[in-house]
Structure 1
Amino acid sequence: MMYTNGRESNGDRSHKGGGGDVPPPNIQIDMSMVRRRGGGGGSPSFFEPWTPTPGSGSVVVRGGGSSGSSGDPTPHHPSGGGGREAPEKLLTLFALRLAVLEKAASGLGTLNFVWATVVLLGGFVSNLTLTDFWCITVILVGEGARVFGRSHELEWQHHATETSSTAAAAGVLRSSSRFFHRVLHFHASVSDDGGAAAGEARANTKSSQLQRQLAAVAKQQRGWHAPDVSLLPYTSWVSAATNIGWLLHWLQVISAVSCVALSLMRLWKHDFFAGGSKNMRPALLLFYTLALLEALLFLLEKAYWAWQFGHCKLLHQVTDDCHLGACGPMAIRRFFYDAYSKCIDGSIFDGIKMDLVTFAEDLILSDFLDEQFIGVRILQQFATNAAASTGDTLRKIGTSPQSVERLVEMLSWKRRYEEDLRRSAAEVVCKLAGKRQNALRLSGIPGAIESVASLLYTGRGVAVSGMQPQPNAAAGGEDGDYLAFHLLGLRILKKLARDQDNCGKIENARGLLSKIIDFTKTLPNLLQNRHASDSQVRAVKHALQVVKRLVSTTGNTGEALRRGVAANVFAVCNLRGILRYGQLHTELQKLAIDVLAALAMDDTGKEAIMATGGLVKLLLSTFAGVEEGELACNAGKALEMLALESEKGCAAILKQRADVVDLLVSALQDDGSDNRRRLNAARVLRSLCAYSSQKHRERLRVATKALPLVLRITMKENKELDNKVLEVCVGLTTQICRFIDGERFADELRAAGVEERAYVQRLARILRDYKYPEIRVPRMRRFVVQQVIWLMTCSRGHVYVELLREVGMEGLLDSVADTTSELECYHAFSGSVGIGKHRESFSGVVDIALELITGGRGGAPAQGVKP
């Protein structure tokens, strides 16, 4: 693995398991990605600097989120994106059709009203018979009543949905008892039936208390909530919004029916000649015809409404398609009335522009808790439902600053009756954080990190000591109730930590880093228990993923975070516990080793690792094991970083086992298809030979047994060999040569079946292949030049000088001198920032080689080349 400062595009690859536990491409380059880039079997490493490449660490933004086939029976989420349309489009289309009928009827009514008042009552009033006069009067009064009722019915019906939303919110609260039933499920597994029944009774009591608290909150608010208002004293039933709405509805129906009856009666008799005016008949005929058509259109609208809602059950169909749960029916009804009102009050096309996401955003911005409950539930369902197109939903929410701020604000609401709302808001924020742009908007809100951090604390508001972390406590009582919040908080932090700036904000949040480390504490009975709570294990996993991303950050921020984690007295001890007892959870062990490898990049981390008893031994035993290849390779990377540029680190490795060098030589001889273990062993062995003190020199002479194998690997052509393995083998050859002279080296070449001329030609060919610094193997040319220097200064130097001149090494060194780069001056890299600068600049090494080859000096005693 390699640490980078790359950033991924605005895409989301959540994976199954409820919210995307597998992170999308992030500031760390995935090992499989590095292998693909390299085209070989070598392992990605700290030694390779990162550079942006097309498609690396990015996610293609899919228009409309998750795709779906046209045959998918589940309609997709608002804004489309799949093969099916959003469910609420059925409602907005229905509202449009109703509005067409309503406005057509209203238009005819207006025309009829003008005709009656201007022509009939104005021009022919003295000629009208008493029957026609009263028929016209009744029709006009009825029309006026219908217009009055229509203008206020929607208002009262909409008000009725607000009244019912309080009841729906209470249903949501009752459904929130599932939160407590999850706790009861745990209790039931460890107690008898009587205990479970008592626990269920306690949960029901809590639910009732929450409902009473919700009612009390409504009373404490400074403004009136419309559903709580009584229009007239002692008339609460009469003045109920639902009843008034129905009264206005039937008033319109009766008016329309009376208009139809009177119009048909007069048209049937058509005795319009009492006044003797020849224009009377067509005037009255037109009036009664318009009145009849208007009333019929209105009744057709009502019939269409009743058919869709009563027989076709359109509201229930949309509610089921949206999967909104207890709050669904009232939320959908209220959405429909909003859309219909827009179509009636403005253009008929205004309503079809509405969608449930925008509707829910308006609800969460309300000052009333019941509306906030419904709004958050809608957003939660659409943001987390795998069958829905979550991409457009999250994009719509993320581009609404007010909505994002309110969701973040909800994370810090800690009253008991707000738990369900808070948990739903946390799930939405977790999905939002999965997109890079949304994550940046989230972290840009003042106090956002602190709000997310509040999810990691219990209701007591006091951080638990690192020796007694909450997620590993018994999942009952107050701490158990908050385990779901802990998991959500850690997942949000994990997604936010993909960005370097967010990592700095996490570091600056007071006490947050220590709190995250607290969750990595595990006990043997948890890790070794095959029936341990999955939630507790996932809490440890998420905490390790967060810590891994923090310590993997590049630049000054990463350096400060690594120091901060290493300075925590519990951090490395917790990682040791996972390695020691986590055989049943290899994924946790891999994460723990990755964190150790990152910590070992700095001296503070190296000291903490070496000061923790048994940890280096655990890494060595893991590397030597063959049960889990991936785990062994990760352990090898940690050992690489521990030994790099550190005499103490090398000593800590060598003192663990007497056969450490033999173990590394044996791993180097592993000729499997995967070169990662060989690569790890070669790098560790090179560091031991390069940086160990003189007192270990005799032990390290055993490394010379690997020289024939290393030489044979070096002689392989590039197409047969991963260039990372070639790089480290050339470097290891130079370090092994410190223990032998030129004559012994010639013998080792013969033992490997390699001629001296062929070996020198191979070195020259490597320099020709790498005319410029190669970002994947930045030390390749340095190692080759160092080996050339050793050849010219060993006891057979005069022989090698001639051979080097014959192959054109002087010209190659001149070319290298003209193309040296700062890239070649470092051992390892954190992103594009070099770590562990070589003791000699590369240009200085090349100058020494040129001086030797041009001066012709050879035969000098063998001298060690500085690493």
Structure 2
Amino acid sequence: MLVLAIVLLPIVVLYLLGLYASTAISLWRLIQHDFGGDGGTNKKPALVILYSLAMAQGVVFLYMIVHAWGAKIGIVKLVAHSYELQEDSELVSGYLDASIKGCMKEPSFARGRNLITYAVDKLMEFDKSRDSYLCGVKILSKVVRLDSMEFRSQQVLAKELLTGSPSLIRHLLETMGPRSPYDRDIREHAARVVAHVAGGIHLDSFPGGVIGCVSALLPEEYEEGGDHWLWEDLERQWLLEECERRRWLLKPPRPPVTIDGMVEASKVLVEQGLLILRKLAADEDNCRVISNAPGLVCKIMAPLTSAKLHGDYHDQWSGIATESMKLVLSLMAAPGTGEVQSQISSNMKAITGILDCRECAVLLKRRATQILLDLSLETQPPGGRVFIWMLLLIFVLPDDFFDTTISSVGWVKKRRYIRRLAGEKLQAAEQSVGGVISDLGTAIAENDPYMAHAAMILGHLWAHCSDEYLEQVKQCVFDVMPKVLREILRRPPARPAADDLENGRDSSRDQQDLERREDIMLKKSLISFCRTIHDTRWELTARVDEIADEVMSELGERGHGIMYLLSSAESKVSKYQIRRVR
């Protein structure tokens, strides 16, 4: 500390008094010259002192600039990291510059201001500066996506400021709409902002505008003409990027995209469009407008009825189908929306196909079953065993455990009816709750093709079911846990030898690669099931650890509890995946 004080004290004194000292000395010597006689012996020391003072001031000034620049970079990085704006840190830098400039003019400028108010102010400049408007859109898009509770107040503020300005909402709709002059990325940002405020929009206040712009985000169909809906989007994107590149003469062309990449990029706009409609549908008046909009219901149903999208791009399709189903359930629950029921009834095969699909997630199958129940399905659909499991899941566990997002008032009321109907269907099928729980265990023990789904359902029941069914669930879990752990520890199928290709056995290699991928996905699902079992019933952790140690003992290894076993298994699964990629 003493050394630091000795070094810094002269700098501080020089910084505070240097300007005054140099001015006073200069004035004194201008009035009273002392050149040291005719030879001017004092001129050289005087010049040394003068230049030294000037040099010292320059060093201090340079230090101030470097310090301010470094501090700015540090602040920008910190804020950008907090708001997940690392790739767009120039947006935060602009906010900091504007704040400093405003505070220099008026010290109270920053009072009541933050990144949200800055972004909304930038949006207000849409008729003056294109770049300022896009800056506001990007910032708000990032902020509304943050899940942390510390940003909730800012997200509420953004919603209040935007809903209080219909002109801003109209301009955001135009930005994401069919005649937008912007590329896909900007349209996605605008769509996210609109989705954030959609719950507060009344369609009567925007006649035709909202529905037309949102509808433009949804392809009319996915089947006819192959992938033309992707190529149209890609062509639009390429033209906009080419114009932008020619405008600035600096941006290099993007690398070529694959079909999977196109689907992944296009699905974001589709998901956001469906999310906007679902939030709008929380209001019954909006629900009727959506249901009566020409052709809109067909667009909403298109992802669910597309065998091509479901079969060829399943991972991307799942997110779109989830949003589509949530919206369909909300629309079906609203009064006066008979077109939705008739549209779904005519595409029953697509809905039941979700129950048959081995790749579709449990929650997606749950929503498909809810749709079938709402249509008062008289006969049990194909894949009846999975259908019975879904009836159990709906009857025992309410929707509140799975979906906390905004729902329409009609759907909140109707889901009680659907839950009761699921119980009645179980009785009609002569299935008790205990019997279905036992069947879940049987499916796991017998390596049923839907073994992963049975495990996930059993995990949900373990975590959330009431005391009425807990003992049955506990017994089933303890019975199947050894089988599950052995399956997790089992090595995946070996890849075919390299000389198989030379012998013309390429198809066999592809088949074994497929089996290997399916085995890895099964292991991941079972590991997730085991983590749920371990993490949600702490009072039973000791028993679960005992089972894990017994399984390890059978393999001739020392047990260290289930978490050690799962961590080791996850590491091996990751290695298998890396080898497959190579």
Q: TM-score, normalised by structure 2?
A: 0.49
Q: Which has the higher contact order (CA 8 A, sep 6+)?
A: 1
Q: As a proportion of its length, which structure holds more helix?
A: 2
Q: TM-score, normalised by structure 1?
A: 0.34
